[in-house]
Amino acid sequence: MEPLLKVSRLRVEFKSDFGKRTVTDDTAFYVNEGETLGLVGESGCGKSVTVHSILGLLPSNGRIVEGEALFDGKDLCKLSEKELDKVRGKDIGMVFQDALTALDPVFTVESQIAEQLRVHLGLGRAGARERTLKLLEEVGIPDPLSAMKKYPHELSGGQRQRVMIAMALSCGPRLLIADEPTTALDVTIQAQIMELIGEIMKKSRMSMILITHDIGLIAQMADRVAVMYAGQIIEEAGVHELFKNPLHPYTRALLQSAPSIEDGDDRVLKAIRGAVPEDYTDITGCRFAERCECAGSGCELRQEFKQREEGHFVRCHLA
Amino acid sequence: MSDREPLLSVRNLKKYYPVKNSAFLAANRKLVHAVDGVSFDIYEGETLGLVGESGCGKSTVGRQLVGMEQSDGGELFFCGKMLDKAEFKRQRAQLQMIFQDPTASLNPRRRIYDILSDIMVGNGVCTRAEAKERVNGLLKEVGLPENSAERYPHEFSGGQRQRIAIARALSLSPKLIICDEPVSALDMSIQAQILNLLKELQSRLGVSYLFIAHGLGSVRYISHRIAVMYLGKIVELASSAELFKNPRHPYSQALISAVPVADPEKRGVKRMITVGEVPSSIDLPEGCAYAARCPYATERCRRERPELVDINGGEGSRNKHLCACFNMEVAREGVATHEGVIVHEGASAREGAAEEPAVKEGA
């Protein structure tokens, strides 16, 4: 079966006053129908840039230099703005981290959701209204009738996130991109939102790309996981395989550096020395090498993304 | 550890903020109950974790301890003496603070040497001539490279900046450091470095921490005892191991069970999903603040306010397991059997969800 979304050889460049800078390169991943792909990595590693680029949402100084992103047979990187508009919000829904900035402050909840329904699905005023009400009910907003008339600032953080999910789901997307959907929320609210997303996934056979830096969330939600470091995907595997048998030294270190509530008193966290390189454009070899415990000869060479075991890819010659 | 005098005792601490542009008449003015009668002890060489969701007042407690906020009630005892104005001035150097965002808490125009030496010279810890050596010693202590003293804050990474903030807090050899979300602004791989550094400094210098955070994983890792706050009150306080093994307050149970566990094999584990959201702290309910979200709430909970009681019966306040709930026994059974936990009315607005139990099986 063809995957729903297949990204290959994707490279994104940003122009600045100091010249060009490659932000992500050699990015390749796929998402099957009904599957959740977890994209995990630290801030600035290129997680968001990757999904923004395939949706044509890069800022004006960024562009895709090479690569393709096949969604349902169409290359998203080659579509015009107009053609992209037909896909964004309809076949691909997005949920962003900060609902307060993602929602328009001067329009009511109803008009923001109804706009999509009228544009993408051609619904009339009354039809859109009815559908909006149903969507808000579905995402568990108490008293949806009065919530519809409210502006984003009148809602709590959790409610705003629910509104964004309702918006993303409004046109029955086949792929949901959730970019840190719960990072700004408290844990009890996060549990509610993730529960909601999980329920919807089960019902609708929708696919999801879940971007997060929370290892726990990945463990609970994802089917497959891609780990990013400094602009590259460095490991990809099924979620059980990745947690049981991480091959890349960075993935291993990452899993060991997260404190867990299930730890005993005697656990010692394994810290990763140093910090993420700020500019990794000129590093030709492994970008993790300077922080890696296993680094040795061969790490200065370009690292290929290779399959080591069935469905388990890694970018490290030592793995 | 023996049960000596606590280093710091907090008794019935209060902080109310007036709501802005409410009314012209002072009598009508409403109050946000940010901290509403909080009491706890911190012992020498100990870390007390303070957890809760945003807006529960945990940061305000920390800020009151170092005098950044005036208290509206309550007493502080430090080393056995009551901290009144004069005593506070004498002891101020013993109470230090580390903030969440080191970029904001370090002056960008001053070199690290200036930032650190001024505090020490100003407080008479050392002379200008000795300062250089002291600064280098401090930087070494927190694991920064040797040439750091001559550089500016922007030349460091986030994790290194937090190390500088720690060095500044240590510069006067304090007895207690208030750490307000010291790792939540840092990258995952750096968090462990800072947590380990704090632990190591504690075992070497015997300093105590009040560790304020919302990330339960890091709090569990660093704290000896943990206090759980909800809407300006401590609802449960116990040793770290005890709290996570045997949480008794329904809110602590929900909080702990809401944390996603980093193990895909544990997906089948039943989780408690709390319904509803934290109510506003302006019009606090008459009874238990958590009653509106609590699956075990009874009529009494809505009428009366539960006080913290010791359920461990342990000797000395260090071994106590305090919990403020009328229905602790029911709550414990609810967790043990995962039965009888039913969604309360707050969720019934969701059509069709009314019959669903609040405890759900993971996918």
Q: What is the pLDDT of residues A47-86, one digit of tens each?
A: 999 999 999 999 999 999 999 999 988 999 999 999 999 9
Collect all residues of chain B within an 8 Å Cβ-Cβ radius of residue A254.
Answer: 188-189
Q: How many CB pairs under 8 A join A and B?
A: 153
The per-residue pLDDT for A292 is: 93
How far apart (Å, rounded) are the C-alpha atoms in residues A269 and A272? 10
The per-residue pLDDT for B3 is: 56
The per-residue pLDDT for A37 is: 97
Collect all residues of chain A within an 8 Å Cβ-Cβ radius of residue B360.
Answer: 195
Pick from A219, A253, A276: CB nearest B264: A219
Helix (H, G, I), strand (E, B) or coil at B89: helix
pTM for this prediction? 0.87
How far apart (Å, rounded) are the C-alpha atoms in residues A84 and A76? 7
Pick from A141, A190, A272: CB nearest B189: A272
CATH architecture of the region B1-223: 3-Layer(aba) Sandwich (3.40)
Pick from A141, A142, A243: CB nearest B263: A243
How far apart (Å, rounded) are the C-alpha atoms in residues B184 and A183? 11
Which range (B223-227, B239-243, B274-278, B353-357) has the least confidence?
B353-357
Helix H segments across chain B? Answer: 58-65, 85-91, 102-105, 112-122, 128-141, 158-170, 188-205, 216-222, 240-245, 250-258, 299-303, 328-337
pLDDT in tens, chain A (319 residues): 789 999 999 999 999 888 888 899 999 999 999 999 999 998 888 999 999 999 999 999 999 999 999 998 899 999 999 999 999 999 999 998 888 889 999 999 999 999 999 999 999 999 999 999 999 998 988 889 999 999 999 998 889 999 999 999 999 999 999 999 988 888 888 888 888 898 888 888 899 999 999 999 999 999 999 999 999 999 999 999 999 999 999 999 999 988 888 877 778 888 898 888 878 888 889 999 999 999 988 999 999 999 999 999 999 998 8
Q: What is the mean pLDDT of chain A?
A: 91
Q: What is the mean pLDDT of chain B?
A: 85
Tell me the one-letter amino acid at A289: A
Shortest Cα distance, chain A CAs vs residue B127, angstroms: 34
The per-residue pLDDT for B194 is: 94
Q: What is the pLDDT of residues B116-157, one digit of tens each?
A: 999 999 999 899 999 999 999 999 999 998 889 999 999 998
CATH 3.40.50.300: which residues of chain B? 1-223
Q: Are B60 and B35 in contact (CB under 8 A)?
A: yes
Whether A259 sits inside 8 A of B277 (CB atoms) is no
The per-residue pLDDT for B22 is: 53
Average confidence (pLDDT) over B34-56? 93
Q: Does B1 touch chain A (CB under 8 A)?
A: no
Shortest Cα distance, chain A CAs vs residue B25, angstroms: 26
